[in-house]
């Protein structure tokens, strides 16, 4: 095998830092596939969870419990006629979804799934993330303008005003977290995403609990602002269907429309990852400093396998509860195969956890470690994804002037205050 493939294995830095383009490409492909799969899964989970919130069943027909519904939707969207309105600006209409998609996916180059499980580690990581994710608004604005129609234009104007004003509060909340990274002996902070998590590791506390309640307030501000940034309910003024039909993507159809959806969900995952990295300890497992004996390490490394195991158990229960009618035979077989697949993954993960424990510093141990990091990171992001659905099911939409008032008159002063108080407390403590 060529040198550049093998030489990176066993390295403790990201491929970008090691200068290994081959593994960087592999990581990019893995992350791209993972995010796409996550968006597909999110599509199904959102429809199911929303349905259960509203005491309905949701998709049930395509595949067992509607599991194949996202694929059916994707196929439909790809086969659908792609309409460009005659009065639209052809080129801008064509390029608008790509801007949003590029902005949403470029962010993933610096998201740290683990200390070496990222494409690259920039020393301006968080600045880069905020900057690139703020480019997404350009796609929305331009899409609304290019459609040459009234509802999309209003939606675009609303969303640009909303995103620009919430970026301010968001940025200030991020700054207060970055400030916390500098509370060590040398007083040197960092903007690198990996560096921020390592600072939490060194200080032995997730920043959400640091200087309680300062870190917590900053976290809450960020998690409100990030809903507005991604145009989700209750701040989904830009695509309020009862007022603007579909907002900025009213005139879009088929594949182009699905690109907008892909960009929106990818952006949701990206901002959740920022929140996880800054306040929730990134890839660290819970109680990493309190329970750090090897036995605890082993117990926590069983979690990925147990998670997949319980998912498999739920699917098996679903198989037994299917109606005993011949019409459901194929669905039962399908669900059983799905459950068996989940169970197989669970066994594989458990085997890796056990093998990786006995052999120190081997490839299996390193692999086991990597799985742990990625698992805890993804689990925390998944909680945020569920919260997004929960908010959407629970809260009514804000009016536009209320939204602006919250952004400028509530969140901005509070985040400024938190920043100042964090700085003062930091000076006093150190």
Q: Minimal CA–CA distance to 302: which of 261, 258, 254, 356?
A: 356
CA dihedral over 324, 325, 327, 329, signed as positive or negative:
positive
- Triad 71, 75, 77: Cα angle to 5°: 115
Minimum distance from residue 31 beta carbon to other proteins (Å)? 21
Measured from the CB atom, is 25 or 333 closer to other proteins?
A: 25
Is the previous residue joined to 234 through a cis bond, with omega within 30 degrees of 0?
A: yes
Measured from the CB atom, is 127 or 340 closer to other proteins?
A: 127
Measured from the CB atom, is 83 or 124 closer to other proteins?
A: 124
The token pair at 61 is 């027909």
What angle, 0 to 180 degrees and rounded to 10, lies between the N-to-C axes of helices 90-106 and 125-134?
160
In sequence order, which residues have a C-beta less than 8 Å from that of residue 297 and are 6 or more positions away?
357
CA separation for the pair 98, 83 (Å, rounded) = 16
**Residue whose entry in the numeric block shows the structure tokens 């997404």:** 136
Minimum distance from residue 137 beta carbon to other proteins (Å)? 6
Measured from the CB atom, is 104 or 208 closer to other proteins?
A: 104
CA separation for the pair 224, 217 (Å, rounded) = 11
Interface residues toward other proteins, by CB under 8 A: 3-4, 6-11, 18-21, 89, 91-92, 95, 122-124, 127-128, 130-132, 134-135, 137-138, 141-142, 144-146, 153, 156-157, 160-161, 163-164, 167, 187-188, 191
Minimum distance from residue 95 beta carbon to other proteins (Å)? 7
Minimum distance from residue 140 beta carbon to other proteins (Å)? 10
Minimum distance from residue 109 beta carbon to other proteins (Å)? 13
CA separation for the pair 182, 175 (Å, rounded) = 11
Counting Cα atoms < 13 Å in the Cβ hemisphere of 81 gives: 4
Minimum distance from residue 192 beta carbon to other proteins (Å)? 9
Minimum distance from residue 309 beta carbon to other proteins (Å)? 34
Q: b vs e for 248-286, b when ≥16 Cβ sit within 10 Å of the residue's Cβ?
A: bbbbbbeebbbbbbbbbbbbbbbbbbbbbbbbbbbbbbe
- Triad 49, 50, 55: Cα angle to 5°: 95
Minimum distance from residue 89 beta carbon to other proteins (Å)? 7
Measured from the CB atom, is 94 or 212 closer to other proteins?
A: 94
């Amino acid at each position: 095998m060529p040198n550049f493939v093998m030489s990176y294995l066993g390295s403790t830095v990201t491929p970008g830092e090691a200068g290994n383009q081959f593994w960087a490409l592999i990581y990019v492909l893995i992350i791209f596939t993972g995010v796409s799969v996550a968006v597909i899964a999110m599509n199904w989970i959102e429809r199911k969870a929303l349905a259960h919130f509203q005491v309905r069943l949701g998709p049930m027909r395509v595949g067992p419990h509607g599991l194949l519904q996202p694929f059916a939707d994707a196929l439909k969207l790809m086969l659908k006629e792609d309409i460009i309105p005659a009065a639209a600006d052809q080129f801008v209409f064509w390029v608008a979804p790509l801007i949003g998609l590029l902005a949403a996916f470029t962010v993933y180059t610096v998201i740290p799934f683990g200390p070496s499980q990222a494409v690259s580690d920039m020393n301006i990581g968080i600045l880069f993330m905020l900057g690139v994710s703020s480019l997404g608004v350009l796609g929305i604005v331009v899409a609304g303008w290019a459609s040459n129609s009234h509802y999309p234009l209003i939606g675009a104007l609303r969303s640009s005003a909303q995103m620009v004003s919430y970026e301010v509060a968001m940025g200030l909340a991020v700054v207060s977290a970055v400030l916390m990274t500098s509370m060590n002996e040398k007083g040197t902070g960092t903007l690198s995403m990996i560096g921020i998590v390592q600072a939490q590791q060194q200080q032995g506390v997730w920043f959400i609990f640091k200087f309680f309640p300062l870190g917590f307030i900053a976290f809450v501000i960020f998690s409100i602002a990030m809903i507005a940034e991604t145009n989700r309910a209750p701040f989904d003024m830009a695509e309020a269907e009862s007022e603007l039909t579909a907002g900025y993507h009213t005139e879009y159809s088929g594949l182009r429309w699905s690109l907008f959806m892909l960009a929106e969900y990818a952006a949701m995952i990206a901002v959740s990852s920022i929140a996880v990295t800054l306040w929730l300890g990134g890839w660290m497992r819970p109680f990493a400093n309190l329970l750090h004996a090897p036995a605890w390490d082993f117990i926590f490394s069983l979690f990925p396998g147990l998670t997949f195991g319980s998912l498999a158990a739920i699917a098996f229960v679903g198989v037994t509860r299917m109606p005993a009618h011949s019409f459901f035979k194929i669905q039962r077989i399908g669900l059983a195969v799905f459950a068996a697949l989940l169970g197989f993954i669970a066994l594989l993960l458990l085997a890796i956890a056990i093998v990786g424990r006995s052999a120190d510093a081997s490839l299996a141990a390193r692999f086991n470690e990597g799985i742990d990091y990625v698992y805890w990171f993804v689990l925390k992001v998944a909680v945020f994804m569920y919260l997004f659905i929960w908010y959407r099911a629970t809260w009514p939409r804000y009016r536009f002037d209320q939204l602006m008032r919250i952004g400028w008159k509530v969140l901005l002063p509070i985040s400024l205050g938190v920043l100042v108080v964090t700085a003062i407390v930091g000076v006093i403590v150190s």
